[in-house]
């Protein structure tokens, strides 16, 4: 997808398609529950109508940002604003790494972008990568793929984590063919 806003719009459309309910119907379900905390709303959506964690988390976020009125605020919340918040303050110097990564990954084809508190999750049928700055000096790229041997650069992560591998970047020049090949492998294995 060409922008974060388009990706979130697509995710909201996919949520509606998977549940068979409109956003207004889903928001009405949340209002009827009387729940007001993000985690409680997410748990409700995972239970009924049986959403996955990512979809439930996204919908809970948009519901709360819309003040529970059912308006689709994906454009108003400005997904770019969410990404800007990740790279705010002293982490702003790392934004060129993020932008170079996203520009290259965009060439692979269609995928969804789901900003989280400190990183963005990239998904096809399942999450294939995460990108975010855990410190002021680097951006970590988490990758989900199987059958790839770890290296010094492609660090294998402990089982049960969010990603199987992590690559640490401190400079846009480190977004190279080797890294993009790993990301492409993860992208293709995600569906």
Q: What is the pLDDT of residues 35-56, one digit of tens each?
A: 878 788 888 998 888 888 878 8
Residues 101 and 68 in one domain: no
* Domain of residue 24, residue span: 4-77
**Residue 85: inside a domain:** no
pLDDT tens column, 153-177: 999 998 888 899 999 999 999 999 9
Residues 69 and 22 in one domain: yes
Residues 95 and 177 in one domain: yes
Q: CA angle, corner 130, sides to 26 and 59, nearest 5?
A: 10
Residues 183 and 104 in one domain: yes
For residue 114, the surrounding DSSP H or E stretch is: strand 112-115
The residue from 54, 77, 100 where one domain ends is 77
Confidence of residue 1 (pLDDT cuts 50, 70, 90): very low
Domain count, the chain: 2
């Amino acid at each position: 997808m060409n922008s974060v806003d388009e990706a979130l719009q697509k995710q909201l459309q996919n949520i509606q398609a998977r549940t068979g309910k409109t956003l207004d119907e889903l928001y009405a379900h949340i209002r009827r529950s009387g729940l007001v905390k993000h985690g409680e709303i997410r748990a409700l959506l995972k239970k009924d109508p049986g959403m996955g964690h990512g979809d439930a988390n996204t919908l809970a976020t948009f519901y709360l940002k819309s003040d529970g009125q059912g308006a689709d605020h994906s454009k108003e919340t400005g997904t770019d604003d969410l990404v800007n918040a990740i790279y705010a303050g002293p982490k702003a110097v790392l934004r060129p790494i993020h932008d170079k990564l996203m520009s290259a990954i965009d060439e692979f084809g269609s995928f969804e972008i789901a900003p989280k508190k400190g990183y963005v999750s990239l998904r096809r049928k399942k999450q294939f990568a995460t990108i975010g700055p855990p410190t002021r000096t680097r951006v970590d790229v988490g990758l989900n793929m199987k059958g790839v041997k770890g290296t010094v650069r492609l660090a294998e992560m402990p089982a049960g984590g969010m990603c199987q591998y992590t690559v640490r970047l401190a400079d846009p020049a480190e977004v190279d063919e080797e890294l993009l090949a790993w990301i492409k492998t993860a992208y293709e294995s995600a569906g």
